[in-house]
Amino acid sequence: MKDGECNGVTHTLGVNELLRSRIKSVIAAIEDEGNVKINRQELAATLDITPVYLSNIISGKKVPNTELVFKLAKILERKVDDLYIYEEE
């Protein structure tokens, strides 16, 4: 995203740069609870993505699109807000 103005506020960062993924910690917590209903291979297949792409999402190297975030939240039985935190500069 280029520098721009939206609602009178100048933005210099893209949305992806302001989102901090918590997917890794959410998945780790689910696995630690012992309530794992699906392994990572099955999760990737259910999301119709490759295991490598899922790994990149979990590690924060890739940011999934909105639809994928909602699907992931539903499968993990979490709110979208549990998966990402919006951080202001």
pLDDT above 70 (res 79): yes
Return the number of other C-beta atoms located less than 10 Å from residue 2's C-beta: 6
Whether pTM > 0.95 for this model: the answer is: no
Q: Which pLDDT belongs to residue 36? A: 64
Question: Is residue 3 in a domain?
Answer: no
Which residue's structure tokens are 């924060």?
60
Q: Are strands 19-21 and 9-11 parallel, antiparallel or unpaired?
A: unpaired
In a domain, 7, yes or no: no
| 13-65 pLDDT, tens digit each | 455 555 567 888 888 887 777 766 778 899 899 999 999 999 988 888 888 88
Contact 26, 78 (CB under 8 A): yes
**Dihedral over alpha carbons 32, 33, 34, 35 (to 10 degrees):** -130
Tokens coding 33: 């609870």
Question: Residue 2: inside a domain, yes or no?
Answer: no
Per-residue model confidence (pLDDT) at position 14: 52
Residue 75 resides in a domain = yes
- CATH classification at residue 72: 1.10.260.40
Residue 71 pLDDT > 70, yes or no? yes
Give residue 77's domain range: 21-82
How many domains are there within the chain? 1
More confident residue, 69 or 18: 69
